[in-house]
Amino acid sequence: MTGVGAAGHPRGVAFRRGPAGAGLTLAWRGLLKIRHSPDQLLDLTLMPISFVVLFTFLFGTAVAGDWHTYLQYVLPGVAVQTAVFASMNSAIAVNSDVRTGVFDRLRSLPIARSAPLVGRVLSDLVRNALSLTVVFIVGAILGFRTHGEAGDVALACLLVLLFSMAMGWVSVLIGLLARSPESIGGFGFVLILPLTFGSNVFVPAAKLPGWLQVWVRVNPVTRLSDAARGLMLGTPTGNAVLVSLLWTAAIVAVFAPLAVLAYRRRS
């Protein structure tokens, strides 16, 4: 972990003026930690590989008749699921910084109170982009092919990353409120499973029981999966792109201020 020098600055990091600059500097600090703990890359790479391979071959024949056909359907959804799961790493990192006193030292610096949280969310956004890249590399090896325009595919990836950033604020709030790292797992379990498995990531909503379809159709992960799947495969998306953006904006608008408020109350 990057240390803190005599002047209160993390060693090797020069703070820029302004909230945005400080946030970017602290984001770089978070990424530098990978250099000292390269084992963090295992989580970023092994999880997406496991998701793609496991769900393609586990559900492929049962849902679509063969896994090749199912791969075209499931891979955009797995990209969404991977991004949501990866966003929960923010909770663990924030909770660790709180317990080890890193945030106490950052409070002594002449930077915006939100800067450490912004830095964490931005650094994890880069990590999530790496995980997303691994998903598509593994998918391409197995035979996944996009049929949408290059701009549409890029928009799909952008939507997924923006949503992961929004979920990162939820994760940051959990990390600030959790009393211990062990309790984070419980929070994550309650939040992540209904969002990812209670969606159309793995199975079309029409094939699910009627009572479950009610939740699936309003689930933001479903709307994001619809948008990503349509953009990547060149099929109609309806209003899924707009709804996904609205969900992302709403999550940030609610949970970013709550996370900053929780951080200030720890002062």
Mean pLDDT in order along the chain per 10 residues (267 residues): 42 50 62 63 80 87 83 93 87 81 68 75 86 93 92 95 94 87 78 89 88 91 96 93 96 94 79
Residue 70 domain-assigned?
Answer: yes
Per-residue pLDDT, 168 = 92
Residue 119 domain-assigned?
Answer: yes
Residue 128 domain-assigned?
Answer: yes
Question: Any idea how long the chain is?
Answer: 267
Burial of 48 (0-12, 13-18, 19+ CB in 10 A): buried
The total number of structural domains that make up the chain: 1
Nearest to 176 by CA among 245, 97, 77: 97
Tell me the residue range of the domain where 75 lies: 19-265
- 248: which 2 tokens? 């992302």
Please count the other Cβ atoms lying within 10 Å of the Cβ belonging to residue 7: 8
Residue 106 domain-assigned?
Answer: yes
Per-residue pLDDT, 33 = 66
Per-residue pLDDT, 29 = 66
From the centroid of its chain, how far is CA 18? 26
pTM (predicted TM-score): 0.84
Q: Could you tell me if 172 and 93 are in contact, meaning their C-beta atoms sit under 8 angstroms apart?
A: no
Phi/psi-derived region of residue 145, left when phi > 0, alpha when psi is between -120 and 50, beta in every other case: beta
Q: Measured between alpha carbons, how far is 159 from 107 in angstroms, rounded to an integer? A: 33
Residue 8 domain-assigned?
Answer: no
Per-residue pLDDT, 8 = 41
Residue 218 domain-assigned?
Answer: yes
Residue 7 domain-assigned?
Answer: no
Sign of CA dihedral 155, 127, 253, 215: positive
φ, ψ of residue 5 to 5 degrees: the values are -80, -175
Residue 183 domain-assigned?
Answer: yes
Per-residue pLDDT, 7 = 39
Residue with tokens 């309650």: 190
